[in-house]
Amino acid sequence: MKIVGLMAGTSHDGIDAALVDIQGQKALRVKLLAFQTIPYSKPTLALIRRASSPKTGTVDQVARLNFYLGELFAEAVLEVIGRARLKPARISLIGSHGQTLHHLPHPQPMGRHRIRATLQVAEPAIIAARTGIPVLSDFRPADIAAGGQGAPLVPYVDFLLFRHPRSNRILLNLGGIANLTLLPAGCREVSGVVASDSGPGNMVSDELSRRMSQGRERFDRRGRYAEQGKVNPELLAELLRHPFFRKPPPKSTGREEFGTGFVDRIIARKRPRSRRAWLNLIATAAALTAHSVYRHYRQFYAAEFAADEVIVSGGGVNNRAVMQKLSELFAPATVIPIDALGVPADAKEAIAFAVLAYESWHGRPGNLPGATGARKRAVLGKLCWPLHCPEA
């Protein structure tokens, strides 16, 4: 099947679209045919940020944003198909993660129940109608219904595509949030795989860079700001005392814990008055990412799992300060970008949702209880047909 995978992460940088050809069952063969990122415009980014905040988001904003992002996601699908010089009729399926507005993995009492919740938008009916292609979307709720946190979901794809017969591998994704998948050498069963969010990936550095530049920069390009700054060890130690870091896995997180409110508190604490002070904060945020990843590994996994390789994907792979610190912390394990395995770092999660859509289409479960805490495995996603669906 030729499938378009769509991903828009907690970094809010845009829509990743990957067109892949997938064949096989237990041993999948996945070929990337085309990939591109369509950045959000500043007005769209402002809409997403406003709708994502409990202080400013309203029901009408969320409803309209859902349909508006559906239009943008559909345009991304048609663009990536065109890049591959194919027609939409040649594409079997779309797997769309959507744009996360809110993720609430910690159960709260409501009536007689304890409720976890998550919300991803980008209306699949619009995507299907505009492209003429069936859409599988809303992957997280089935895992929550099975008792899980709804994230992370990429670890099953890590198991399918990246396990190695002789090396203990960590697949580390540095998006807005950082998450790790541990793949023991020779692993043949999903029961041997564990994974978890570890804390902030690029999210804190991104927001500090945006504020220092007064909106001109959305992220610390290649980590150059972090490289110019100096880590504040007292502030780093204080940030690492955040309660999330002490929670045992499985666990997941998002902007609710490490977004603008978290950055507001850092700025209120340090009150940067000069460019040098801002650079020092960004350097400390980069160190927070690396140290929180390594501490998560050391605290919860290292006693039973000695990593040979740490394979990094996501936008953070381009941050030289983070990658350098990860290399120092994880030595003698090698830290390499996933590009070394032939997979573009920025494309990995979009590819993953194409693979998850492929698995769901064939009725196979896509979550991992060792990653999300679910009681059992579940077939993920909801299917939306285009306006002219095939005859039964």
Whether residues 214 and 90 fall in one domain? no
The model's pTM is 0.94
Which residues on adjacent β-strands are paired with residue 337? 312
CB 162 within 8 A of CB 178: no
Query: Residue 199's domain is classified under what CATH number?
Result: 3.30.420.40
**What's the full length of the chain, in residues?**
392
Is residue 389 one of the residues assigned to a domain? Answer: no
CB 36 within 8 A of CB 19: no
Q: What is the DSSP letter of 339?
A: G
Q: How far is CA 330 from the centre of its chain?
A: 22
Confidence of residue 263 (pLDDT cuts 50, 70, 90): very high
Domain housing 312: 156-345
CA–CA separation, 326 vs 294, rounded Å?
Answer: 7
199-222 average pLDDT score: 94
Inform me whether the pLDDT recorded for 231 exceeds 90.
yes
Burial 22-35 (b: 16+ CB within 10 A, else e): beeeeeeebebbbb
Whether residues 160 and 284 fall in one domain? yes
Whether residues 23 and 11 fall in one domain? yes
CA–CA separation, 392 vs 382, rounded Å?
Answer: 18
pLDDT at 156: 97
When the pLDDT of each residue in the chain is averaged and rounded to a whole number, the result is 95
Rounded to a whole number of angstroms, the distance between the first and last alpha carbons of the chain is 19
CB 81 within 8 A of CB 87: yes
For the chain, the domain total comes to 2
Report residue 132 as tokens: 């003429």
Inform me whether the pLDDT recorded for 391 exceeds 90.
no
Whether residues 166 and 120 fall in one domain? no
Q: Environment class of residue 348 by beta-carbon count within 10 Å: exposed (0-12), middle (13-18) or buried (19+)?
A: buried
- Tell me which H or E stretch contains 246: helix 243-246
Confidence of residue 9 (pLDDT cuts 50, 70, 90): confident
CB 31 within 8 A of CB 20: yes
pLDDT at 392: 40
Whether residues 184 and 326 fall in one domain? yes
CA–CA separation, 183 vs 311, rounded Å?
Answer: 11
Confidence of residue 195 (pLDDT cuts 50, 70, 90): very high
Give residue-wise pLDDT tens across range 331-355: 999 999 999 999 999 999 999 999 9
Which residues touch 96 (CB under 8 Å, ≥6 apart)?
A: 5, 6, 73, 122, 124, 127, 135, 136, 137, 353
Is residue 373 one of the residues assigned to a domain? Answer: no
Inform me whether the pLDDT recorded for 37 exceeds 80.
yes
Whether residues 170 and 291 fall in one domain? yes
Inform me whether the pLDDT recorded for 389 exceeds 70.
no
47-75 average pLDDT score: 96
Whether residues 223 and 239 fall in one domain? yes
Whether residues 49 and 139 fall in one domain? yes
Is residue 392 one of the residues assigned to a domain? Answer: no
CB 337 within 8 A of CB 314: no
Is residue 340 one of the residues assigned to a domain? Answer: yes
pLDDT at 239: 98
CA–CA separation, 293 vs 357, rounded Å?
Answer: 29
Question: What single string gives the DSSP state of each residue in 169-224?
Answer: EEEEEESSEEEEEEE-TT--SGGG-EEEEEEESSHHHHHHHHHHTTTS-SS-GGGH
Whether residues 139 and 160 fall in one domain? no
Is residue 243 one of the residues assigned to a domain? Answer: yes
Whether residues 127 and 195 fall in one domain? no
Q: Based on C-alpha coordinates, what's the Rg of the chain?
A: 20
pLDDT at 26: 77
For residue 141, the one-letter residue type is: P
Inform me whether the pLDDT recorded for 302 exceeds 70.
yes
Which residues on adjacent β-strands are paired with residue 172? 180, 312
CA–CA separation, 371 vs 154, rounded Å?
Answer: 9
Confidence of residue 390 (pLDDT cuts 50, 70, 90): low
Which residues on adjacent β-strands are paired with residue 183? 169
17-42 average pLDDT score: 95
Give residue-wise pLDDT tens across range 151-183: 999 999 999 999 999 999 999 999 999 999 999
Q: Is 72 helix (H, G, I), strand (E, B) or coil?
A: helix
Report residue 230 as tokens: 């100096």
319-323 average pLDDT score: 98
CB 166 within 8 A of CB 186: yes
Give residue-wise pLDDT tens across range 95-147: 999 999 999 999 999 999 999 999 999 999 999 999 999 999 999 999 999 99
* pLDDT above 90 as % of the chain: 95
Whether residues 46 and 127 fall in one domain? yes
Inform me whether the pLDDT recorded for 202 exceeds 50.
yes
Burial 207-229 (b: 16+ CB within 10 A, else e): bbbbbbeeeeebbbeebebbbbb
Whether residues 198 and 230 fall in one domain? yes
Give residue-wise pLDDT tens across range 367-383: 999 999 999 999 999 99
Is residue 391 one of the residues assigned to a domain? Answer: no
CB 42 within 8 A of CB 115: no
Q: Is 266 helix (H, G, I), strand (E, B) or coil?
A: helix
CA–CA separation, 327 vs 311, rounded Å?
Answer: 11
